[in-house]
Structure formats: C-alpha cells, structure tokens
A and B are shown apart, each in its own frame.
Chain A
C-alpha cells in the first residue's frame, strides 16, 4: 500500500460527474480530500489516494481518460 497526493482539475462539463466516488468504488482506492474549490465554470480538488501502486496508477489513468486533468500537488516540476 502506498499514498499519492494529486490535484484534479475539472472542466465545466465534468463538474457534476462523481469521478472521485467512482475512483473509490471501482478501483478500491481510499480518497481523502484536503482542499477543493468547485464552481459552475471549473473545479479543482487536492486529495490523497491510498492503495496498491498499480491500482493507483490505473485509477489515475482512468481519471485522466475522463477528461479530468491530473497533476502532482506541487504543480509542474520540469523547469526551463
């Protein structure tokens, strides 16, 4: 088991989708929301995921495939 801190950014059309719920139910990942801001036009959620490494990876690939952007919590780390 390991943990991973990520940030999901939801485009407006996906704000009402229960993406985090499905991540927990379908992938059996424990989701722990720490900060969030959800509005009509956009939303972001900072959360910690707990589960098997491979399952977290698969879960995040699925989240990204829905159109939700997945990023490390600290923003981009590749600098010029």
Chain B
C-alpha cells in the first residue's frame, strides 16, 4: 500500500490513520482515502498499466490495498462496446456501452467488494457483512467465499427468492430482517456499531467506494487513453458517479490522459430521484425520499454521497435526469434489441435517461458518449413482467405458416 497517505473528512478536512473508520469523530462527515499522487505518478505509466492483468487490478497503484493480497475473482476490464445500432436509433455516432454486467457476480459491485474484502483481511477481520437487496449481497457472498471469511448477509425478509438464492449459493449466513425498509436500515446500522465485522458499506465504506474508480480508468484506457465527452451513470447512493469522476481526474492529474472535459450525467428512476430532484431545483441539499421504484438496485432514498454527486454535476456541467417509471422496461428492451445486451432495471434507467439527454440536446451526435450498464438483466426478471406473446402453433407446417402470416399482419 505504498501510495496511500491517510483518510480525510470530506466535510471538515480532519485527517485519520488508515483504519476501519467511516465517519469523522468531529463533524461525523464521511471519510475518503487520500493518496500520494507524486508517488503514483512515478510508479505508473500507460505501458505499465497495459502490461497488467486483464482485470481491475491492473490499476492497483490507485487502490488502497496491497496488490499481492488482492481477493481477485477476475473482476473488471469488462467490454466497452461501440453501440452502433443503439447509437443509430438515438442519433449518436460515437455511443459506447460499458458493459459491467459481465463481472463474476454480474454487477459492478464486484469492484468495490473486491477492494473491501482485501482490506478486511488486511485489518484481520474474520467476518465480512453487508445489508442488501440484490447485487451487493451476491458479490459479498462470493468474495467472502474466495477469501475464506465468515460472511453475514442481511436482507429484507420479503426479497425475491432468486436474489436470495443467488447469494446463498456461496455459503454465507443469510439473515432475513422483518419490518419496513427504514427499520432494517436503522437496525443494520446499529449492528455495525456493536460487532467487529467488516460491514462493506458502513465501517469499510472509504475503501469500498474506491473500487468504483476503476470504471473511470478502464473507459479512458479503452478509448485509447482519452476521456469521453459524456458519461451517463446510474445513481443510487451517488458514490459510483463521484468515483468514476475521481478516477478520470486522477488519470488526468498524473498525465495518463489530457484535456479532461467530461460531462458527468446522473440517471435516476422517477420513483427514487433525490439527487436529480435537488439538481432540478438548484438546491445543494438532497432531501431524502421514500423509494417507490421498479429499479430496486437504485432504491436509496437517503443517498450517502448525494451532496458530492451534486457537486460533480455542477463541476462538470453534467445533467441530472430521471427516467419515468414506465420507460425503464423500454430502456431494457431497447438495449437488448439493438445491442444484444440484457441489463437489469438500473441499465434501463440509464438507457431511457440517455435518450432524454439526446432529445434535450445535451449530447450531440458526434460526441463520445459512454453509458454505464452496471448489472445483468437475469437478476431482475420479475420486473420484466409477462411481455412475451409467442406465435401459437401445432407441430405441422401449414398451421405454422398460417399463424406466422397472421402474426406478421398484426
């Protein structure tokens, strides 16, 4: 861990040693990892990164853990696809999809969890824990298994069976919490105070968040060491949005890319859009909301990084945009039917929001645009509803031909 200096409060600037802390003792503001960029710039080059593994760990110099200890299940370096078909429909010549749904547990969460699990072992924690409604629990369970740690996964008792099984298969202790969302949130927050467990997004949050920076590095490298003109990022806690920007800034600051002018757009679902709501009213205060959205993976009503995400929107001249709830499935289908990529509801929010941004004239035809698809559609099959209307036929040629002709007419 040669390049890490300290943890620093994002609010008051107080400095802390590298320990499993997430809040400033003085003002209770969130802590963030601070690096020695001079040291990093001496250690890395485009060539040294390109010679690294085809995973997120090719960027280990920018992460707060020792590479040798990494819990690596081959996360990252996911495809950046020139989406010509979708771009043609939307009126964009240089549209790219960053397809992070092909990570080992099928979401971008493998990036922050890989870093956190590594750090948890370094801190000699025996238990890795999280509270989740989907993607995070699967990733924590998988990384805990790989690391040989005891793993505790808390989830709302009414969660869909598919998601429960998708995490349970890795062998964690599964804990179903009854009661409403707020109660579960408060209960798990207290648990983190009372047990010496590595709760990935609570006491380990400063390290957890850093893993998402790799989504910025990868896109820049895959574009030929250039930052895109636009990024469209799904928004839940707002941390992914801020960390992709931090990644691009770090690359720019140490000279790996030049002329960083990326506009960082944020996409939220209409039923849970506290950050976009603040952006639209020009407020610097994110008012918490009660989530009521199809996009469960974006259902964070009180986003921890909301104010910082708002700052990124302002700093980069980005736009906060929400996708109407009834367009989320349309977004999923549009991506699937044009590019052959089946994303979950968060991806549907991104694609529908991207469409709005183009319609609003925020993104021009010849500008390099990257839309982040962060989770796999097989995880949210229930959200798709019953949309299949097959042609019905008996197993004989004439009946089939008649049915096919009728279907083609309608």
Say yes or no: A77 contacts B236, CB within 8 Å: no
Say yes or no: A69 contacts B28, CB within 8 Å: no
Cβ contact of B304, chosen from A42, A46, A76, cutoff 8 A: A76
Say yes or no: B297 contacts A80, CB within 8 Å: yes
Say yes or no: B188 contacts A80, CB within 8 Å: no
Say yes or no: B185 contacts A77, CB within 8 Å: yes
Let me know if A18 is at the binding interface, CB within 8 A. no
Let me know if A16 is at the binding interface, CB within 8 A. no
Known contacts A5-B28, A35-B28; A74/B300 CB under 8 A: no
Say yes or no: B132 contacts A46, CB within 8 Å: no
Cβ contact of B29, chosen from A9, A35, A71, A79, cutoff 8 A: A35
Assembled-state Cα–Cα distance A48/B23 (Å)? 13
* A78 proximity list for chain B (CB < 8 A): 131-133, 156, 181, 184-185, 188, 300
Assembled-state Cα–Cα distance A33/B205 (Å)? 23
Interface range, B side: 35 or more
In the assembled complex, the CB of A36 is this many whole angstroms from the nearest CB of chain B, namely 10
Q: Dominant SS at the A interface? A: strand
* A46 proximity list for chain B (CB < 8 A): 27-28
Say yes or no: B205 contacts A76, CB within 8 Å: no
* A54 proximity list for chain B (CB < 8 A): none
Interface size on A, residues (CB 8 A): 21
Known contacts A35-B11, A46-B27, A79-B136; A72/B186 CB under 8 A: yes
Say yes or no: B300 contacts A79, CB within 8 Å: yes
In the assembled complex, the CB of B377 is this many whole angstroms from the nearest CB of chain A, namely 14
Interface centre among B109, B184, B185, B298 (most CB of A within 10 A): B185
Let me know if A26 is at the binding interface, CB within 8 A. no
Say yes or no: A74 contacts B298, CB within 8 Å: no
Which B170-219 residues have a C-beta within 8 angstroms of A? 181, 184-186, 188-189, 192, 199, 201-202, 205
Let me know if A55 is at the binding interface, CB within 8 A. no
Cβ contact of B189, chosen from A35, A74, A79, cutoff 8 A: A74
Let me know if A27 is at the binding interface, CB within 8 A. no
Which B131-167 residues have a C-beta within 8 angstroms of A? 131-136, 156
Assembled-state Cα–Cα distance A4/B211 (Å)? 29
Known contacts A74-B30, A77-B202; A42/B285 CB under 8 A: yes
Q: Which residues of B contact A (CB under 8 A)?
A: 11, 22-23, 26-30, 109, 130-136, 156, 181, 184-186, 188-189, 192, 199, 201-202, 205, 236-237, 285, 287-288, 296-306, 346
Closest CB pairs A-B (n = 9) = A80-B297, A75-B304, A72-B189, A79-B136, A76-B302, A76-B300, A80-B134, A73-B28, A75-B302
